[in-house]
Chain A
Amino acid sequence: MIDLALAFMVLMGVSVLAYVVLDGYDLGVGMLMPAASEEEQSIMVASIGPFWDANETWLVLGIGILLAAFPLAHGVVLGALYLPVVAMLVGLMFRGVAFELRVKALGWHRQLWNWLFWAGSFLASFAQGFMLGRYVTGFESGFGYWLFSVLVGASLCGGYVLLGATWLILKTEGALQRKAIAWARWGLLWVALGVALVSLATPLASETVRSKWFDFPRTFGLMLLPAATLAAGYWLWWAATRVRGGGGGDWQPYAAAVTIFTLAFCGLAYSLYPYLVIDRLTIWDAATHPSGLKALMVGTALVLPFIAGYTVLSYRIFRGKASKKLYD
Chain B
Amino acid sequence: MEDALFLARVQFGLNIGFHILFPTLTIALGWFLLGFRIAYQRTRDPLWLATYRLWLKVFALSFAMGVVSGVVMSFQFGTNWPRFMTTVGAIAGPLLSFEVLTAFFLEATFLGVMLFGMNRVPDWLHITATALVAVGTTVSAFWILALNSWMHTPAGHVLDGHQWIAADWWAVIFNPSFPYRLAHMLIASGLTASFVIAGLSAWRLLRSGLDRGARRTLRAGLLVAAGLIPVQILVGDLHGLNTLDHQPAKIAAMEALWYTERGAPLVLLAIPNAAERRNDYAIELPYGLSLILKHDRYARIQGLDAFAPDHPPVVPLFFAFRLMVGIGMLMLVVAWTGAWVTREQRVPAPWLLWGFSAFTFAGWVATLSGWIVTEVGRQPWLVTGVLRTSQAVGDISGAELGASLTGYVLTYATLFLAYMVVITHLAGEGAEPAAAKEKQ
Contact = CB atoms under 8 A, between A and B. Distances in A.
Given A83-B400, A99-B64, A67 B109 contact: no
B273 to A, nearest CB: 39
A83 B116 CA distance: 36
B415 interface: yes
Interface string A308-322: 001101100110000
A206 interface: no
Interface in B75-115: 75, 77-79, 82, 85-86, 89-94, 96-98, 100-102, 104-113, 115
B275 interface: no
A201 interface: no
Task: Kindly state the interface size class of chain B when it binds its partner.
Answer: 35 or more
B68 interface: yes
B71 interface: yes
Contacts of A291: 90, 160, 165-166
A190 interface: no
Contacts of A192: none
B408 interface: yes
Interface string B395-406: 110001001100
A289 B90 contact: yes
A61 B112 contact: no
Contacts of A60: 70-71, 74, 100, 104
Contacts of B408: 86, 90
Interface string B35-73: 000000000000000000100010011011101111110
B263 interface: no
Given A49-B112, A50-B115, A89-B75, A299 B165 contact: no
Interface string B202-231: 000000000000000000000000000000
A34 interface: no
A1 interface: no
B426 interface: yes
Given A68-B89, A68-B94, A90-B411, A326 B116 contact: yes
B120 A94 contact: no
B260 interface: no
Contact of A56 (B65, B71, B75, B86): B71
B343 interface: no
B379 to A, nearest CB: 22
Nearest to A76: B82
B119 interface: yes
A147 to B, nearest CB: 22
Interface in A62-85: 63-69, 71-72, 74-75, 78-79, 82-83, 85
Interface in A83-111: 83, 85-87, 89-90, 92-94, 96-97, 99-101, 104-105
B298 interface: no
B101 A304 contact: yes
Nearest to B412: A93
A122 to B, nearest CB: 16
Interface string B107-132: 11111110111111100000000000
Nearest to B160: A289
Contact of B113 (A99, A288, A314): A314
Nearest to B400: A82
Contact of B105 (A57, A83, A85, A317): A57
B310 to A, nearest CB: 26
A56 B67 contact: yes
A93 B69 contact: yes
Contact of A292 (B65, B74, B89): B89
Interface string B413-437: 0010011001001100000000000
Contacts of A327: 53, 115-116, 118
Contacts of A304: 101
B418 A299 contact: no
Contact of A101 (B71, B119, B422): B422
List the 6 closest A-B pairs by CB distance, nearest first.
A68-B93, A292-B90, A75-B82, A50-B112, A71-B85, A53-B108
16 contacts: A53-B107, A54-B105, A61-B101, A67-B85, A71-B78, A75-B79, A75-B85, A89-B68, A93-B68, A101-B61, A104-B57, A295-B94, A299-B102, A307-B101, A314-B109, A318-B117
Interface of A: 46, 49-51, 53-54, 56-57, 59-61, 63-69, 71-72, 74-75, 78-79, 82-83, 85-87, 89-90, 92-94, 96-97, 99-101, 104-105, 288-289, 291-293, 295-296, 299-300, 303-304, 307, 310-311, 313-314, 317-318, 326-328
Interface of B: 53, 57, 60-61, 63-65, 67-72, 74-75, 77-79, 82, 85-86, 89-94, 96-98, 100-102, 104-113, 115-121, 160, 163, 165-166, 169, 394-396, 400, 403-404, 407-408, 411, 415, 418-419, 422, 425-426
Given A75-B85, A296-B93, 13 more contacts: A54-B112, A57-B108, A64-B74, A71-B86, A75-B394, A82-B396, A86-B407, A90-B408, A92-B71, A289-B90, A304-B101, A313-B109, A327-B53
